Chains A and B, each alone.
Chain A
Amino acid sequence: MRRRIWVWQLLLLVAIFAVWQLMTQPGLVPPLFWRDNPERAAFFFGEPVKMFRVIWQWFTDGTIYLHLWVTLEETVLAFVIGSALGLAMGLWLGLSPTASALLDPFITAMNAMPRVVLAPIFMVWFGLDIGSKVALGVTLVFFIVFFNVYQGVKEVSPVVVSNTIMLGANRRQMLRTVYLPSATSWVFSSLHTSVGMAFVGAVVGEYLGSARGVGYLIAQAEGAFDINTVFAGILVLTAFALLLDFAVTRVERRLLVWRPTQSETEQL
């Protein structure tokens, strides 16, 4: 069954690109729109064959690796820094009612703000290098992790807390053995979203101004109205995001073995 679905998914993908090619390649079929100018469809939507040629070129002459590496670096840094800050803040506010009462409106306001507008400011502060992209990614990742950890701390079972107190844990041991594991499990449950956000931060940052990265490649091609290269960049980014997501799933499975899932639960 799983094999069959794979085959169908692959066929669907091929079909999409085939239709795309049919509709855009000048002179292949009589145009449905823009009957006066057969080149126009290709201009607006690109031609898959040419896109794949660009991608092939990138990977064979190796130019793409530097850009991919930069984007990956930014994504990973943004994710790690954003998660660490979110975890620390979430634990702090989750465990201190005073701090959370004081800071609550500020956090809400900062979360409500569309943070992509901060990108230009970060460029002034951190320059056009990876610093500004990481900063943008951090602001996106931070809030996802923060809210998850905050929730995680609040939702630790009071019975587990009382039990751990009765077993003799002091405050530090309590934090280490109860709050931290519970909070990290929430971080991991938001892993897909936060890695995705780190990636968005990196690419948007590159797109708005940089000298390297896949976002930069796309911005450059767009400036030259080279739609095939733009789509080639988007395809590479998509494939890359899928790979990241796959890696995250692997990590998640290893780290959350203690979590019951419907299929895993094994009653004895």
Chain B
Amino acid sequence: MPAIEFDRVTCTFAARGDARGSYTAVKEVTLSIAEGEFVSVVGPTGCGKSTLLNVAAGLLRPSSGALRVMGQPLAGINRKAGYMFQAEALMPWRNALDNVTAGLEFRGVAREEARRRGTEWLARVGLAGFENRYPHQLSGGMRKRVSLAQMLILDPQIVLMDEPFSALDVQTRQLMENELLELWSADRKSVIFITHDLEEAISLSDRVVVLSAGPATHPIGEFTIDLPRPRDVSEIRMTPRFIELHDRIWHSMKEEVLKGYAQTRNRLSA
């Protein structure tokens, strides 16, 4: 039984301030993610990748089609999923520890217990000693670590990540990717990882799904990544198999990327 199953999901938005009608972000997307599988979704910018993730989280109801979580159709928020957003999502008025323990607090876990587990998780993401720092006192990479701990402390069966490391510099990013892989391999959760970076997608995943350019985005290709685990993201990029996979996927993406680029340019010049 797949952990998450998109069944002909279509999302149409009423275009704001535009009487001509609506914008279809994703169309007829059918995709399933097995339990314990790490799937990356890549596609050109503005193709509706985040829309798919919001549907999986239950934050957005599809216009048509269905989403099933562990075989059950999803109604409301997906309680089995943790979501790591692309933008800053920490509460700026809470320090690192209180941010990490927020989810436990909502579930009524005793304060002492929550603090103990929060401290433990902060240490696990390499932030021991930073419990009392507020988000503005942490660097971008550290804030992402706090977000990661905040999500994983709740032990979700499904993890949704929306370009979580896109704002980080290359070195920090590879560090975070390795840490993510390490945490993931400890108790294989189902992961949907959205990115526009093909190298990141290949080095992390079991499977890479390529989306077409928007509007009406849909998957146009799926590639199984048979690279051995455990992986080191910076080393694996040098292996011949990686380069071969990269070539193949990039070849299938290229056309869509150019299409997406041309559309953006036309929209700007229009």
Interface centre among A166, A168, A260, A267 (most CB of B within 10 A): A166
User: Closest residue to A267 on the B side, CB-wise?
Assistant: B139
Q: How many residue pairs, one in A and one in B, have C-beta atoms under 8 Å apart? A: 77
**Interchain CB contact (< 8 A) of A268 among B79, B92, B139:** B139
**How many residues of chain A are within 8 Å of chain B by beta carbon?**
26
Which residues on A sit within 8 Å (CB–CB) of B91? 160, 164, 177-178, 181
**Alpha-carbon separation in the docked complex, A15 to B139 (Å):** 50
Report yes or no: A167 in contact with B134, Cβ–Cβ below 8 A. no
Report yes or no: B136 in contact with A265, Cβ–Cβ below 8 A. yes
CB contact under 8 A between A257 and B134, given known A160-B89, A168-B154, A169-B106: yes
CB contact under 8 A between A266 and B137, given known A160-B89, A162-B85: yes
Report yes or no: B85 in contact with A168, Cβ–Cβ below 8 A. no
The distance from the CB of B43 to the nearest CB of chain A, in whole angstroms, is 21
**Interchain CB contact (< 8 A) of B94 among A159, A166, A258:** A258
CB contact under 8 A between A166 and B136, given known A160-B91, A173-B106: no
Q: Does B138 contact A (CB under 8 A)?
A: yes
The distance from the CB of B93 to the nearest CB of chain A, in whole angstroms, is 4
CB contact under 8 A between A258 and B93, given known A164-B102, A167-B154, A169-B106: yes
User: Closest residue to B132 on the A side, CB-wise?
Assistant: A257
Which residues on A sit within 8 Å (CB–CB) of B106? 167-170, 173
Report yes or no: B89 in contact with A163, Cβ–Cβ below 8 A. yes
Which residues on B sit within 8 Å (CB–CB) of A163? 83, 85, 89-90
1/0 per residue, CB under 8 A from B, across A145-186: the answer is: 000000000000101101111111110010001100110010
**Alpha-carbon separation in the docked complex, A160 to B154 (Å):** 17
Complex interface residues of chain B between 126 and 155 (CB less than 8 A to chain A): 134-139, 142, 150-151, 154
**Alpha-carbon separation in the docked complex, A178 to B57 (Å):** 20
Which residues on A sit within 8 Å (CB–CB) of B226? none
**Alpha-carbon separation in the docked complex, A170 to B150 (Å):** 17
- Chain B: number of interface residues, binned into ranges: 20 to 34
1/0 per residue, CB under 8 A from B, across A170-209: the answer is: 1001000110011001000000000000000000000000
Q: Does A259 contact B (CB under 8 A)?
A: yes
Q: Does B59 contact A (CB under 8 A)?
A: yes
Q: Does B82 contact A (CB under 8 A)?
A: yes
17 A–B contacts, CB within 8 A, in A order: A159-B87, A159-B89, A160-B88, A163-B83, A163-B89, A164-B102, A165-B77, A166-B59, A167-B150, A168-B103, A168-B106, A177-B91, A177-B105, A181-B91, A181-B94, A257-B134, A258-B92
Q: Which residues of B contact A (CB under 8 A)?
A: 57, 59, 77, 79, 81-83, 85, 87-95, 102-103, 105-107, 134-139, 142, 150-151, 154
List 19 other contacts, CB 8 Å, given A163-B90, A167-B150, A258-B94: A157-B88, A159-B87, A162-B85, A166-B59, A166-B83, A167-B151, A167-B154, A168-B79, A169-B106, A170-B106, A177-B91, A177-B105, A182-B93, A258-B93, A258-B135, A258-B136, A259-B92, A259-B136, A266-B137
